[in-house]
Amino acid sequence: MKYYITTPIYYPNSNPHIGTAYTTVAADAIARYHRMIGDEVFFLTGTDENAQKVFRTAEAEKMDPKVYVDGVVEGFKTLWKALDISYDDFIRTTEERHHAVVRSIFTKLYEQGDIYKSEYSGWYCTPCETFWTENKLLDGKCPNPDCGRPVELLKEESYFFRLSKYQDALLEHIRTHPDFIQPHSRRNEMLRFIEGGLEDLCVSRTTFEWGIKVPFDPNHVVYVWLDALINYISALGYAEGGGYARFWPADVHLVGKDIVRFHAVIWPIILMALDIPLPKVIYGHGWYMSKDGGKISKSRGNAQDSFELIRRYGSDALRYFLLREMQAGTDGAYSEDGIVERLNSDLANDLGNFISRSLAMLVKFRSGLTPAPGQDCPLELELKELSKEVKRNTERKLDACDPAGALEEIWRFVARCNKYVDETAPWALARDEQQKERLDTVLYTFAECIRILAVLTAPFMPGLTPRICCQLGVEESVISWREADQWGILAPGLAVQRGEPLFPRIDISEFTSKEEPETAGEPEFEPIKAEIAFEDFAKLDFRVARIISAEKVEKTDKLIKLEVEIAGVKRTVVSGIAEHYAPEDLVGQRVILVANLKPTKLRGITSQGMILAASHGGSLEILTVGDRMPGGARVK
Ligand code: MSP
C-alpha cells in the first residue's frame, strides 16, 4: 500500500516553534507507523516562501529575501533533524520545480476560463495572507479570532478564480465523503461556511514582485495561498512525475485548525478544476495554548526555544509530551511544567521504571539471561489478550490522526505491565525452589513485554527504540509492528543488561531556579589591560552577525564553525565556544562580530572575524542582541 502524508508548508518569516513542531512530529509519528506496517510512505513537509509577510520581514531586516529565507529554512531543517523528523522531501516554494508547476496550472485554469481578469477592491490581512470584504471585518480589523490586526485597503487589477462555479460540486463531495474533513466538528463548520456562499477568489497581486509571476502577465504575482497549496503535487513532480502517479491522492493533509478553510475550500476546487482526484482526508488539529490562554506563536512571543527544550528534556520526551497532550478535537495546554510532569510520571515512573525493575530482576535472578518460559497462567493470558486489544486500538487511533489516543492506549499496557510485576512478585518466587519454572515464565514475560513496548512506542519516540533494544540484548530488526501482539518472539538465552535509566527524573527547579549558585571560592577577575587611544579603539568594526548555521569542527573539542550573515553577505567564522554551546542552540542568534579582523586559518578553515563573548570562572556567554537589529548593524 502507498501512504502519502503532508504537513503545512510553514512561513519562514520566523523560526519554527513548539506549535509548528506539533504538526510535524504528529505527521512523523503517523508516517513512521505506516512504514512499520509495510506501507510505501511519502512524507512531505516544507516552507511557504513567496508570502508577502516573508518579504516584509526580510525587508525590515534589510536583507535580500532569498538570503533571508535560506537562513530561516536552515533553522527549520536543523530543528526537524533534532526532533528526528523522517520526512522524505522538503519542498521550498522558491524552487524552480514548484514555480514551473504553479505557472502551468495558472495558465491552464486561465485558458479554460476558471481564472479571469477583473479588479479587486477590498481588504488584505498580511499576517494571515487573507483577503477580506468590508462586511467581514471586526472593528475595521482582521476578523480571524487569532489575529485582530490591522488590514490594508487594496484596489488593484487582479485575476480571480471562479470558486463559486464549483460550490455545489464541493458541497456534494463533502456530503458524500464523511471522512474528507476531520474531526467531524470541523466538517460541520466547513459545510456551514460553504453553504453561506462562496465568492470568487482574488488570485494575483500587482503591488510587489516577490513570488511567482503570472506567465502571460508578468505584472502580476500569484496569490500565495494558490501557490502554496500546489506544493502538495509539485513536490510529486505533477503532472508527469512518477511520484505523482504513485502517491496522489494524498492520504492525509495534516494541518492546524487555522488553515482548514484553505485546504477544504480552495484546494479541492483547484483540484476539481484540474480534474484530478481530491485528497482522502484533511485533518485539522487544535492549537497548543500557553498558560494565559493564548495560542503559542512567534508573534505573541510566548514560544520557548525548541532547541533549549530538546537540550533539557531530549527529543523523545518532547515528542512524547507534544503528541500526548493534544487531545483529538480540542486544543492542548503547553507549559514547561507540563513537559516535566509527563516526563516524570509517564516516562520515568511508568515506562522507565517497569523496564528497569524487570531487567534488574532478570539480572539478579537469572544472571541477565532470558530463561525459557514454562506454562502460562491466567495472568500471562490476560496480558496477551490486552496486547492484542492495545495494538488494534493504537492502529485505529493512528488511522484517525489521534496520536494522543494511541499513546493513551499504549500506556494502558504499560500500567498492566507494572501491575503484573506486583502481582507475580518475582522476589518471593525466587525464594522458593519449587517455583523455579514459574519464575522463568514471569521473567521471560517481562522481556516480551519490554519488546512489545519497544515496538509500540517506536513511531512516537524513535530515539528510544535502539536504547531499549540494547538493554534487551536484541538487534533492532526484532522491532516488528506485526509482532506487537505476538508472543514467544524472543529467543531464550538473550543477555540483557540494566543500562542507564531511560528517562531520569527531572527536577524543574533545575531550569527555573533564579538562585545564585554557591559562591565558595569566587574565581578571580582578569586584570584590566593597559590604556589605548580612542583612535585605536575606533579602528575596530563591530557588527551584528546573524548565525545561519553552526557545526562542530571535526576532531576538536572547542571549535564551532559558524556561517553568519552581515548585511546580506555570508561569512565563515570559527569560534572556540563548543564547550559552552551546542551548535543547534546558536542558529538564529544575533551575535557581535569583530568584522574587520584579518582572516585567519583554524584547522584548515578560514575564519573571517571573531565573535564576542563574556567569560568568567570557567563559564562563557556570547554577546547577543534582539531581533530588531539586522545582521550588519553597527555596534559602537
Ligand atoms: N504557510 C501556511 C500554510 C500553507 S500550507 C499549503 C501557514 N504557515 S504557518 O507557518 O503559519 O503554519 C501554520 C501551521 O503551523 C498551523 O496550521 C499548524 O499546523 C501549526 N501551528 C502553528 N502554531 C500552532 C500552535 N500553537 N499549536 C499547534 N499547531 C500550530 O499557515
Atom of ligand 1 nearest to the CA of 11: 10
CA of 108 to the centre of ligand 1 (A): 29
DSSP secondary structure code for residue 626 in this structure: -
pLDDT at res. 523 = 62
% of the chain with per-residue pLDDT over 90: 83
Q: Which three cell numbers stand for residue 485?
A: 501482539
Q: Best mutation site among 11, 18, 20 for ligand 1, i.e. most ligand atoms within 8 A of its Cβ?
A: 20
Residue 264 CB coordination number (10 Å)? 26
Which protein residue has the closest C-alpha to ligand 1 atom 25?
A: 19
Atom of ligand 1 nearest to the CA of 257: 17
Which of 26 and 294 is assigned the larger pLDDT?
26
| Grid-cell match 491552464, residue found | 108
CA of 182 to the centre of ligand 1 (A): 17
Which protein residue has the closest C-alpha to ligand 1 atom 15?
A: 20
Mean per-residue pLDDT for 349-369? 96
Mean per-residue pLDDT for 158-184? 97
Q: Is 325 in the pocket of ligand 1 (CB under 6 A)?
A: no
User: Could you tell me which residues come within 8 angstroms of residue 316 by beta carbon, excluding any fewer than 6 positions away?
Assistant: 347, 461, 462, 463, 464
pLDDT at res. 521 = 53
Q: Is 225 in the pocket of ligand 1 (CB under 6 A)?
A: no
Residue 538 CB coordination number (10 Å)? 9
User: 81-128: per-residue pLDDT in tens?
Assistant: 999 999 999 999 999 999 999 999 999 999 999 999 999 999 999 999
- The widest CA-to-CA distance across the chain, in whole angstroms, is 91
User: Could you tell me which residues come within 8 angstroms of residue 441 by beta carbon, excluding any fewer than 6 positions away?
Assistant: 373, 374, 375, 376, 377, 380
Check pLDDT > 70 for residue 513. Answer: no
| Grid-cell match 578571580, residue found | 524
pLDDT at res. 522 = 60
Cis peptide before 183 (omega within 30 of 0): yes
Q: Is 380 in the pocket of ligand 1 (CB under 6 A)?
A: no
User: 424-440: per-residue pLDDT in tens?
Assistant: 999 999 999 999 999 99
Check pLDDT > 50 for residue 192. Answer: yes
User: Could you tell me which residues come within 8 angstroms of residue 138 by beta carbon, excluding any fewer than 6 positions away?
Assistant: 148
The answer to whether 354 touches 414, Cβ cutoff 8 Å, is: yes
How far from the centroid of its chain's Cα atoms is residue 436's Cα? 49
Q: Which three cell numbers stand for residue 434?
A: 519449587
DSSP secondary structure code for residue 613 in this structure: E
Q: Is 320 in the pocket of ligand 1 (CB under 6 A)?
A: no
Q: Is 589 in the pocket of ligand 1 (CB under 6 A)?
A: no
DSSP secondary structure code for residue 345 in this structure: I
Q: Is 256 in the pocket of ligand 1 (CB under 6 A)?
A: yes
Atom of ligand 1 nearest to the CA of 229: 6
Q: Is 302 in the pocket of ligand 1 (CB under 6 A)?
A: no
Q: Is 583 in the pocket of ligand 1 (CB under 6 A)?
A: no
Q: Is 354 in the pocket of ligand 1 (CB under 6 A)?
A: no
Picking from 19, 17, 34, the residue whose alpha carbon sits closest to that of residue 458 is 34
Q: Best mutation site among 23, 101, 149, 300 for ligand 1, i.e. most ligand atoms within 8 A of its Cβ?
A: 23
- Looking at every residue in the chain, the average pLDDT score rounds to 93
pLDDT at res. 499 = 84
Q: Using 50, 70 and 90 to split pLDDT, how confident is the model at 46?
A: very high
Would you say the pTM of this structure is higher than 0.95?
no
| Helices of type H across 579-624 | 583-586
Atom of ligand 1 nearest to the CA of 289: 26
Q: Best mutation site among 259, 270, 326 for ligand 1, i.e. most ligand atoms within 8 A of its Cβ?
A: 259
Q: Is 312 in the pocket of ligand 1 (CB under 6 A)?
A: no
pLDDT at res. 514 = 45
| E strand segments, 126-234 | 130-132, 152-161, 181-182, 201-202, 204-205, 221-222
DSSP secondary structure code for residue 491 in this structure: P
| 313, 345, 501 from 338: Cα distances, Å | 12, 11, 21
Atom of ligand 1 nearest to the CA of 255: 19
Atom of ligand 1 nearest to the CA of 258: 17
Q: Is 632 in the pocket of ligand 1 (CB under 6 A)?
A: no
Check pLDDT > 80 for residue 408. Answer: yes
Q: Is 27 in the pocket of ligand 1 (CB under 6 A)?
A: no
Tell me phi and psi for residue 456, to 5 degrees. -65, -30
SS3 at position 159 = strand
Check pLDDT > 70 for residue 457. Answer: yes
How far from the centroid of its chain's Cα atoms is residue 598's Cα? 40
CA of 160 to the centre of ligand 1 (A): 25
Check pLDDT > 70 for residue 519. Answer: no
Q: Which three cell numbers stand for residue 143?
A: 476578523
User: Could you tell me which residues come within 8 angstroms of residue 15 by beta carbon, excluding any fewer than 6 positions away?
Assistant: 72, 75, 76, 79, 298, 588
Strands 2-10 and 40-47: parallel
Check pLDDT > 80 for residue 347. Answer: yes
CA of 256 to the centre of ligand 1 (A): 6
Atom of ligand 1 nearest to the CA of 295: 26
Check pLDDT > 90 for residue 557. Answer: no
User: Could you tell me which residues come within 8 angstroms of residue 598 by beta carbon, excluding any fewer than 6 positions away?
Assistant: none
Q: Which three cell numbers stand for residue 457?
A: 512506542
Check pLDDT > 50 for residue 264. Answer: yes
Q: Best mutation site among 53, 258, 334 for ligand 1, i.e. most ligand atoms within 8 A of its Cβ?
A: 258
Q: Is 383 in the pocket of ligand 1 (CB under 6 A)?
A: no
Q: Using 50, 70 and 90 to split pLDDT, how confident is the model at 556?
A: confident
Q: Report the phi/psi class of residue 6: left, alpha or beta, with left for phi > 0 and alpha for psi in -120 to 50.
A: beta
Q: Using 50, 70 and 90 to split pLDDT, how confident is the model at 512?
A: low
pLDDT at res. 527 = 62
Check pLDDT > 70 for residue 420. Answer: yes
- Indicate the helix (H) or strand (E) that contains 282: strand 281-285
| Grid-cell match 487555522, residue found | 258
Strands 600-602 and 560-566: unpaired
DSSP string, 79-134: HHHHTT---SEEEETTSHHHHHHHHHHHHHHHHTTSEEEEEEEEEEETTTTEEE-G
Atom of ligand 1 nearest to the CA of 232: 6
Mean per-residue pLDDT for 200-212? 95
CA of 255 to the centre of ligand 1 (A): 7
Q: Using 50, 70 and 90 to split pLDDT, how confident is the model at 510?
A: confident
| E strand segments, 329-440 | 332-333
> In degrees, to the nearest 5, what angle opens at C-alpha 6 toward C-alphas 48 and 177?
120
| 211, 351, 483 from 99: Cα distances, Å | 9, 48, 45
Q: Using 50, 70 and 90 to split pLDDT, how confident is the model at 298?
A: confident
CA of 12 to the centre of ligand 1 (A): 11
Q: Is 114 in the pocket of ligand 1 (CB under 6 A)?
A: no
